[in-house]
Amino acid sequence: MASAPSTAPSTPAYCNWNPEDASFPEQFAWGASTAAYQIEGGWDADGKGPSVWDTFTHQAGERVFENQTGDVACSSYTLWEEDLKCIKQLGLTHYRFSLSWSRLLPDGTTGFVNQKGVDYYNKVIDSLLDNSVTPMVTLYHFDLPQSLEDQGGWKSHATVEAFDAYAHFCFQTFGDRVQLWLTINEPYIVAELGYEQGTMAPGVKELGTGAYLSAHNMIKAHAAAWHTYDRVFRKQQGGLVSIALNSDWAEPFQPHSLADQEAVNRHIGFCLDWFATPIFLNGDYPVVMKSRISAMSKKQGYPSSRLPEFTEEEKMTIKGTADFFALNYYTTRKIKHQDYLDSQPSRAGDTEAEQVMDLSWPVATGSSWLAVVPWGLRNLLKYIKDTYNHPIIYITENGFSQSDPAPLDDSQRWEYFRLTLQEILKAIYIDGVRVKGYFVWSLLDNFEWTCGYSSRFGLFHVDYENPALPRVPYKSATEYAKVIANNRPVNSHE
Ligand code: GAL
């Protein structure tokens, strides 16, 4: 009989092991996540400055579904108590939310502090703690202050310094009560969609260079903030700082094709490893990125690689700047090798990897990209354990959307959650991965970026037609509350 790996928490031997009967480890963090621009509304209330998402959604054009905006969203800025009721109804142990940088610092700098913004987040943090809910705070979730974008945004080194000063301000202001920090949410998405393809704010389209340059500065900004915490606040506040990285899992389209297997490595290399290798391993980009981009740049007539380089000093500063691994997982792709023949440079072209959806996988009704593959999460967790020195991992986002109108009886969606939780149990007990928490995206239906309100990810339904914006639990909320109360998945017959 096989015994559990030594790294796994003690559990019955797993030869007959059934994840349906297993409990999560003690002290497991049960959470839900949101982001400021997606829920708060109050886009110019009480002295808030504009962010790139305010500008992006206010500009005419078909960039967002039906030209919708986050001006009101779920109005969490005025309805925080309603969100708190949802959190309590679920019995969450943790709540992840983001601070709106330009609500706190309207022009992005510490030159002027908007006290009303500070008051709002103090209220949120204090009431979470009063209800024994641990806050996990993201400093920046896609909504860069517009005034910083006007000076180059993430393409400029000035934003690295502004972010570090903002982080210092947040640690100083809220760090006596917040112990779990995330610097940046999904730098990959900001780089690829915000500065390369231009389909998300700030809408910069600079194929082949925009993503690499903006990512370069975000990695430096993250590292600077981590060091600020480490140097100035850690001793007194005792918290942890990381960065939320998103990644798909990937499988070769033809399992036995070496070319497809190598394309899988590039696909993950150019997404997760792009950020995780420098931050968790060696301060530098993955070898596969450096060699590939250098070769492609040469072919395209560039005098040097389109991928910027870190100095030796920067590498030393970046290496080891995360106290845990924060993973956002949604989907899996089949990957095919594809020769890139186009002379137009692009990050996607550099990967020479084509993404294919497996038609046998169900797709979430609210997001055409979201193939539902719960086992992909287990594989990704194992990959992170093996590649990044067995870190503590929080799954800081995972979820499934429904299209609007969304039924309150979302049994199908709950089935996806249930299967996902089973895969996490297998990762913990069979693979020995140190998963310490799971956060559903999202607490509430909200503004789903370019899909506006047409894609509903919430555990609670929000009726946008009703000015009171009532929050009503989906079946998934009721089921999730049972899981949390029992610290394990509950069978339908229980
Ligand atoms: C993530 C993002 C969230 C949310 C989610 C669902 O990429 O961090 O803000 O929109 O996707 O698409």
What's the CA-to-centroid distance between 366 and ligand 1, angstroms?
Answer: 13
Residues near 257 by beta carbon (within 8 Å), at least 6 away in sequence: 337
Question: Is the Cβ atom of 185 under 6 angstroms away from ligand 1?
Answer: yes
pLDDT at position 18: 81
Residues near 177 by beta carbon (within 8 Å), at least 6 away in sequence: 125, 126, 129, 135
What are the phi and psi torsion angles at 439 (to 5°)? -120, 120
Q: Which listed residue (186, 251, 352, 423) is catalytic?
A: 186
**Residue 121, burial from CB neighbour count under 10 angstroms (0-12, 13-18, 19+):** buried
Which residue from 250, 242, 425 is spatially nearest to 326, judged by alpha carbons?
A: 242
372 secondary structure, DSSP code: -
Q: What is the pLDDT of residues 449-483, one digit of tens each?
A: 999 999 999 999 999 999 999 999 999 999 999 99
Question: Is the Cβ atom of 228 under 6 angstroms away from ligand 1?
Answer: no
The pTM for the full model equals: 0.96
Q: CA 233, CA 239: separation in Å to the nearest integer?
A: 8
Q: What is the number of the ligand 1 atom nearest to the C-alpha of 399?
A: 6
Q: What is the number of the ligand 1 atom nearest to the C-alpha of 448?
A: 10
Q: What is the number of the ligand 1 atom nearest to the C-alpha of 370?
A: 12
- Specify the residue with its C-alpha closest to ligand 1, atom 4: 448
Q: Which residue has the tokens 């002290």?
A: 27
Question: Is the Cβ atom of 448 under 6 angstroms away from ligand 1?
Answer: yes
Element (H, E) at 235: helix 234-237
The CATH code of domain 14-247+320-486 reads: 3.20.20.80
Question: Is the Cβ atom of 97 under 6 angstroms away from ligand 1?
Answer: no
Q: Which residue has the tokens 């949802």?
A: 86
Question: Is the Cβ atom of 53 under 6 angstroms away from ligand 1?
Answer: no
pLDDT bin (cut points 50, 70, 90) of residue 197 is: very high
Q: What is the number of the ligand 1 atom nearest to the C-alpha of 35?
A: 9
Candidates 328, 395, 439: which one to mutate for ligand 1, based on the most atoms within 8 Å of Cβ? 328
Q: What is the pLDDT of residues 120-159, one digit of tens each?
A: 999 999 999 999 999 999 999 999 999 999 999 999 999 9
- Specify the residue with its C-alpha closest to ligand 1, atom 10: 448
The sheet carrying 353-356 orders its strands as 249-252, 332-337, 353-356
Question: Is the Cβ atom of 398 under 6 angstroms away from ligand 1?
Answer: no
pLDDT at position 1: 30
The dihedral over CA atoms of 320, 322, 325, 326, expressed in degrees to the nearest 10, equals -150
Question: Is the Cβ atom of 189 under 6 angstroms away from ligand 1?
Answer: yes
Q: Helix, strand, coil shares of the chain as percentages rounded to 5?
A: 45, 15, 40
Q: CA 349, CA 209: separation in Å to the nearest integer?
A: 12
Q: What is the residue-averaged pLDDT of the chain? A: 95
Q: 222-226, 316-320, 342-346: lowest mean pLDDT where?
A: 342-346
Question: Is the Cβ atom of 420 under 6 angstroms away from ligand 1?
Answer: no
pLDDT at position 2: 33
pLDDT at position 5: 38
What's the CA-to-centroid distance between 5 and ligand 1, angstroms?
Answer: 34
What's the CA-to-centroid distance between 397 and ligand 1, angstroms?
Answer: 8
Q: What is the pLDDT of residues 70-113, one digit of tens each?
A: 999 999 999 999 999 999 999 999 999 999 999 999 999 999 99
What average pLDDT does this structure show over 389-402? 98
Q: What is the number of the ligand 1 atom nearest to the C-alpha of 38?
A: 9
Q: What is the pLDDT of residues 328-340, one digit of tens each?
A: 999 999 999 999 8
pLDDT at position 16: 61
pLDDT bin (cut points 50, 70, 90) of residue 60 is: confident
Q: What is the pLDDT of residues 202-236, one digit of tens each?
A: 999 999 999 999 999 999 999 999 999 999 999 99
Question: Is the Cβ atom of 232 under 6 angstroms away from ligand 1?
Answer: no
pLDDT bin (cut points 50, 70, 90) of residue 494 is: low
Q: Is residue 397 among the annotated active site residues? A: yes
pLDDT bin (cut points 50, 70, 90) of residue 314 is: very high
What average pLDDT does this structure show over 21-43? 97
What's the CA-to-centroid distance between 454 and ligand 1, angstroms?
Answer: 14
* Proportion of the chain above pLDDT 90, given as a percent: 93
What's the CA-to-centroid distance between 350 and ligand 1, angstroms?
Answer: 25
Characterise 189 by phi-psi region: left (phi > 0), alpha (psi -120 to 50), beta (else): alpha
